[in-house]
Amino acid sequence: MQGVRLLWGLVMVLLLAGCNSEVQSQEVSPPQRPAVSDTAAINQEIASSRQNAITRAVAAVSPAVVNVNVIEVRRVRDPMASFYDDPFFRNFLRRPRVREQQVESVGSGFIISPDGYVVTNDHVAGNATKIDVFLPDGQTLPAELVGSDAATDLALLKVEPEEALPYLAFDTTSTPIVGEWVIALGNPFGLFESAEPSVTVGVVSAKDRNLQSGRRGRLYRDMIQTDAAINRGNSGGPLVSATGEVIGVNTAIYSESGGSIGIGFAVPARKAFRIIEELRENGRVDRSYYTGLYLTTVTQRIANILELDRARGVLVRDIDPSSPADDAGLQAYDIIIGINGERIDTQDDYVARVYDYRPGDEIQMRVLRDGQTLTLPLRLGRQE
């Protein structure tokens, strides 16, 4: 009996040892590693996720974005000019109060044809005496100013390449969508020696923005607003959609410091394309239109006198006899409140709208007369 117990105890010891051995073998087994093919697939997935619509658009557009280096002559006031009124100092300071000084500045632009036409801003190259264009591939080419338009702040340059250049086309068929991704390319502040453009990304914040500008008669109308950073030196570069199409020309920013605060503006592609084509064909934009109208903005005082419900539009003060306005049937004291479906609230609105048309174009004038609203067709004449 005692032997049976001893044998049974020995069997139990052996069984427990086997169990412990199995547990230990499970605990010390090394962790399984993913197969090499699984790691490659993960890396490929990560790499693919980095290549998105933005990066593809930048790669496609960048070869046609250029830096524009200009030298212009500016008239600057002599800092000692205030002393010239004193006869004593005038005898010793015999030099002009205003001097001419050469100033070097930089901007951006983009190529729009394989034979070397380049778009930039008028405030970048409009008064230049010498222009050089730096291509992303390292080439530096001298450029000639074909023409510029101060009102829209656009300019067209021409370089003479030895071979066809990469170029961009204006998207004149679609309309920017508020909230869509956009890309601004250029050389901010002219900081970098590399000709490769810097890239900033944002969205279309708004459309049809109108800005006040007292500089050289600029009319910043119907602008695209974006929060993509646009700084000095970006001027003249393209504003591009996520599909790589040019939807605008970077032109202006709203900033008290001179740096971007996320409020930038671009000339829309349709307007830019039309102006650039005029510059290419004629070297200038023909705004020698004639209407024969003499106008003033309807103020609240004028509105009260004329018993209007509110101040809006421009008042026709007088009309030249046998002028386009006279032929169209406009009369003194008519109030123009619209042109071709666009609202006119002030004389600035009127000028900006008519600036979009050329001699010979017919425009539809919406006017208030004796409490009635009329639409009168007016064909623009040419200023003699």
Give CA–CA dist 65/108, Å, rounded: 7
Q: Which amino acid is at 257?
A: S
Closest CA to 349 of 311, 380, 378, 384: 311
Q: Are 126 and 68 in contact (CB under 8 A)?
A: no
- Catalytic residue, chosen from 105, 108, 198, 235, is 235
| Cα angle for residues 52, 55, 56 (degrees, 5° grid) | 80
If 0-12 CB within 10 Å is exposed, 13-18 middle and 19+ buried, where does residue 282 land?
Answer: exposed
- Catalytic residue, chosen from 105, 108, 122, 123, is 123
Answer yes or no: 235 catalytic: yes
Q: Are 184 and 202 in contact (CB under 8 A)?
A: yes
Answer yes or no: 123 catalytic: yes
- Catalytic residue, chosen from 108, 122, 149, 153, is 153
Helices (H) and strands (E) in the chain, counts: 9, 20
Answer yes or no: 370 catalytic: no
Alpha-carbon distances of 143 from 126, 165, 275, rounded to whole Å: 12, 14, 19
For residue 28, give the 3-state DSSP assignment.
coil
Give CA–CA dist 383/292, Å, rounded: 10
Residues involved in catalysis: 123, 153, 235
